[in-house]
């Protein structure tokens, strides 16, 4: 199979995917019920009537808090493969089990240092 034949196959799959997407959207639009009303066009916020406009300034602390959560959440994911790998280490492997444990403690220590820094700066205070 030549270089252009491979890309031709890929192009055909992309076109078929786009056509399938368009078909699904058209069928969805034709089959859905449509009963427009002014109440449906209002903003809905958890059952509470909306106050003001949608363009309000939000405290940066909320974004930092969410960012810290994502960082620690993703870093926690690295603990699972490490636990599986460290279980298979022994004296015959090129990496000693003690090295793997020390490396993980350094990793966790770095995370705790970042958490302590955020705590000291008052980022974790929810006022």
Give the model confidence (pLDDT) of 99-108 as tens digits: 888 988 998 8
In whole angstroms, give the CA distance from residue 74 to residue 68.
Answer: 10
Torsion of CA 21, 27, 33, 39, to 10 degrees: 30
Give the model confidence (pLDDT) of 60-118 as tens digits: 778 888 888 888 888 888 888 888 888 888 878 888 888 888 988 998 899 889 889 88
Helix (H, G, I), strand (E, B) or coil at 4: helix
Percentage of the chain surpassing pLDDT 70?
91
Q: Is the pLDDT of residue 54 over 90?
A: no
Q: Is the pLDDT of residue 13 over 90?
A: yes
Closest C-alpha among 117, 113, 95 to residue 105? 113
Q: Are 126 and 65 in contact (CB under 8 A)?
A: yes
Q: Could you write out the DSSP letters of every residue in 37-105?
A: -TTTTS--BTTBPP-S-S-----HHHHHHHHHHHHHHHHHHTHHHHHHHHHT--TTSSS-HHHHHHHHH
């Amino acid at each position: 199979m030549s270089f252009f034949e491979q890309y031709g196959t890929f192009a055909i799959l992309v076109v078929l995917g786009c056509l399938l997407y368009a078909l699904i959207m058209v069928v969805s639009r034709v089959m859905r019920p449509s009963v427009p009303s002014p109440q449906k066009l209002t903003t809905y916020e958890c059952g509470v009537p909306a106050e003001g406009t949608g363009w309000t300034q939000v405290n940066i602390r909320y974004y930092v808090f969410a960012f810290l959560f994502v960082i620690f959440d993703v870093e926690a994911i690295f603990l699972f493969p490490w636990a599986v790998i460290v279980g298979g280490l022994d004296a015959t492997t090129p990496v000693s089990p003690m090295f793997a444990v020390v490396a993980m403690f350094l990793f966790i220590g770095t995370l705790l240092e970042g958490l302590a820094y955020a705590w000291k700066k008052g980022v974790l205070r929810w006022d």
